[in-house]
A and B are shown apart, each in its own frame.
Chain A
Amino acid sequence: MTVAGGMTRRDLVGRGIAGAMLLSLPGALTACAGGGHNASTEVNDVLRFSNWTLYIDYDEKTKTSRTLEQFTAKTGIEVEYHEDINDNSSYFAKVAGPLSQGRSIDRDIFVFTDNSRYPQLLVNKDWVEPLQKDKIPNIVNLIDAQKSPTFDPDRTNSLPWQSGMTGIAWNESVTGPVESVEQLLDDPKLKGKVTMLTEMADSVGLVMLANGDDPSVVTDSTFGKAVERIEKAVGSGQIRRFTGNDYAQPLTQGDLAAAVAWSGDVVQLLSSNPKLRWGIPESGAMLWTDNMLVPLGGSAATASTFMNFVYDPQIAAQIAAYVNYVTPVKGAREELAKTDPETAGNPLIFPTDQMLKQLHAFSGDALNNQEYIETWQRVLGA
């Protein structure tokens, strides 16, 4: 870190071309204390919400989300819903610019996954607004397992939207059950027809579990062991490639036999191909949670009102029924059982206690460890 004053002089010396340049880049990227924060407790007329695709209930016929409509009906707040998040890093890159300059991104809620470095990074850089808990009485419905994550121990800045499990999915018409990471990485019958996820926490975490190590406490040696194993499988041609959501199409088509995959995806894919299966590997699976945060300059008051609304078990049930990911709201399953017992009984959407014991989270520190990140990027081939 350098002092802003000293930087400016070196700036002018080093960049005669650019002419008068008064602001230094480090200054622009780090000087963020204050400037741009929105502490108002007034609730706005409009909620601007950026979310992942296919992540809220959506009625094809009316082309709207029932949840959002009910929210507007109840509170009078219109919702501008943007499905512009496809993955953590590219969305973060989009918003980092304005946020680093203390500017609002014209959103009141955005959603990042806790198995990426971004929630921690956002909190560290003070690019988020604190929630106004007095507007969220329903926060008591938050399931116990989510009450105190490492990046936000008091839930000052975030609340879960949905959780998901990362396990192994396979296509029954191409292969028999793939129930262990070993099989995924070593079975010659699956060679070239297997993918892993680009998310470090998902792939490395899963392999660490298979090695008998604990992914919530990552050390250089446990990390190295897992990475080595993955690299071997890449080198031998066992792993075809690393994917984001884009394993879904090849897996459904049969180009892939098995993939490290997200539980909710597979539930949604079953309508395209009933022969898909998902399971928690023998050694355990990874749990991740997409968290709602309020970006710098956004209206925490309006956002908090919305969060309170979706923490009502009935609304949470409605969302879970469509989205098919794991809801963080207590009582949602019971609500759903009243109208849709089949979905309520689906263990991929409402994992059993037995399953919950096999789910692990990835260490937050490791996520922000620059060396690990670069090592992983090299494994990914970039």
Chain B
Amino acid sequence: MGWLHRHRSVTPYLLLLPGLAWLALFFLVPLGFLGYQSLQTGTFESGYTFDWAFSNYWDALSTYHEQFVRSFAYAGIATLVALLVSYPLVYWIAFRAGRWKNVFLLLIVAPLFVTYLVRTLAWLNILADEGPVVGALRDLHILGPEGRLLATPVAVVAGITYNFLPFMALPIYVSLEQVDQRLLEAAEDLYASARQAFLRVTLPLSAPGIVAGTLLTFIPAAGDFINAQLLGTPRQYMVGNVIQSKFLELLDYPAAAALSFILMALILVALLVYARAVGSERLTG
């Protein structure tokens, strides 16, 4: 391998080539086609023609703005709940769980080992109208006597939260674990209370984890359609459901493509805003 040693500058490009080629060919090019398709008009039966039909975008936004808002709302709520639920849990594991840390971490990740669909279907069992959970909520008068959880926004958001919780938890754990204990000891030496130590030392140091976790949760959640399909009704349908229906049922490819691009664009915008607020190195790491 002396050749490589002499041609040092070639090495990175050789290493990069296969991976980048794959990404370029199967990520960038398809997006190009999608863009092309989004500017077409026509129907499945009569065929599509390329028309610079920017009206597709306008139509998509105006017809489905409700679903867009809903998607971002659900994803946002789910992300927030996931953050609130997983932070204390992960804090406990990082600081109090001692030798068994990795085992508990495994338990957090465990739900991911059951097929996404199957674990969502399990919630159909758990939240059933005649099941124990709804029964208990009715007894506690949190739900009315005819109240239900399934086929409501609550079930959909709960499903999204559950499915993406490990993606929120793990990055936070990683950054919490790297918090140097000595900093906390120093804070204590400086007469900080436990609460102050947390707010002034731990929390800020875990910020990168929170950022990463938020992104890893929010982005897939915004494009999800499975939870809405299985746990909700058409009134909870998100953009993902519309895209899926346009693509695979209505065979209205231009509209579906336009919707996909709008979704991507909106997410990128949200990302940029977030990145600006937070510092971009944290994102691409």
Chain A residues proximal to chain B, CB less than 8 Å: 1-2, 7, 10-11, 14-15, 17-18, 25-26, 29-30, 89-90, 92-93, 96, 121, 124-125, 192, 234, 240-242, 249-250, 253-255, 368, 370, 373-374, 377, 380-382
A18–B29 touching, CB < 8 Å:
yes
A26–B49 touching, CB < 8 Å:
yes
Q: Would you list the 4 A-B pairs with minimal beta carbon distance, nearest first?
A: A381-B234, A241-B233, A26-B47, A89-B249
Within B89-133, which residues are at the interface with A (CB < 8 Å)?
A: 124, 128-130
Contacts of B69 in A (CB 8 A): none
Q: Could you list some 26 contacts between A and B, CB below 8 A?
A: A11-B50, A14-B36, A14-B39, A17-B28, A17-B29, A17-B32, A18-B36, A26-B47, A26-B48, A26-B49, A30-B46, A30-B47, A89-B248, A89-B249, A90-B248, A124-B45, A125-B45, A192-B146, A234-B235, A241-B233, A242-B233, A374-B250, A377-B250, A380-B234, A381-B241, A382-B242
B82 contacts the other chain (Cβ, under 8 Å)? Answer: no
Whole-angstrom CA separation of A26 from B36 in the bound complex: 12
Q: Which of B39, B42, B148, B234 has the most CB of A within 10 A?
A: B234
Whole-angstrom CA separation of A380 from B242 in the bound complex: 10
B47–A2 touching, CB < 8 Å:
yes
Query: Known: A26-B47, A30-B46. Is A93-B234 also a contact (CB below 8 A)?
Result: no
Closest CB of chain A to B64's CB: distance in Å? 9
B32–A254 touching, CB < 8 Å:
no
The number of inter-chain residue pairs (CB within 8 angstroms) is 94
Contacts of A90 in B (CB 8 A): 248-249
Query: Known: A14-B36, A90-B248. Is A240-B48 also a contact (CB below 8 A)?
Result: no
| Contact with B45, one of A89, A93, A121, A377 (Cβ below 8 angstroms) | A121
Contacts of B29 in A (CB 8 A): 17-18
B250–A15 touching, CB < 8 Å:
no
Closest residue of chain B to A29, judged by CB? B47
| Contact with A1, one of B47, B128, B232, B246 (Cβ below 8 angstroms) | B47
Q: Which of A14, A240, A380, A381 has the most CB of B within 10 A?
A: A381
| Contact with B49, one of A2, A18, A89, A249 (Cβ below 8 angstroms) | A2
Contacts of A25 in B (CB 8 A): 37, 40, 47-48
A241–B151 touching, CB < 8 Å:
yes
Closest residue of chain B to A31, judged by CB? B47
| Contact with A381, one of B37, B129, B233, B251 (Cβ below 8 angstroms) | B233
Closest CB of chain B to A216's CB: distance in Å? 22
Closest CB of chain A to B282's CB: distance in Å? 31
| Contact with B249, one of A1, A93, A249 (Cβ below 8 angstroms) | A93
B237 contacts the other chain (Cβ, under 8 Å)? Answer: yes
Closest residue of chain A to B237, judged by CB? A381
Closest residue of chain B to A2, judged by CB? B49
Whole-angstrom CA separation of A99 from B78 in the bound complex: 41
B43 contacts the other chain (Cβ, under 8 Å)? Answer: yes
Contacts of A93 in B (CB 8 A): 247-249, 251
A255–B249 touching, CB < 8 Å:
no
B49–A7 touching, CB < 8 Å:
yes
B222 contacts the other chain (Cβ, under 8 Å)? Answer: no
B168 contacts the other chain (Cβ, under 8 Å)? Answer: no
Query: Known: A25-B37, A192-B148. Is A254-B130 also a contact (CB below 8 A)?
Result: yes
A373–B250 touching, CB < 8 Å:
yes
Closest CB of chain A to B107's CB: distance in Å? 30
B130–A255 touching, CB < 8 Å:
yes
B26 contacts the other chain (Cβ, under 8 Å)? Answer: no
| Contact with B245, one of A17, A370, A382 (Cβ below 8 angstroms) | A382
| Contact with B128, one of A253, A368, A370 (Cβ below 8 angstroms) | A253
Closest CB of chain B to A82's CB: distance in Å? 19
Contact with A along B217-239 (1 / 0, CB 8 A): 00000000000000011110100
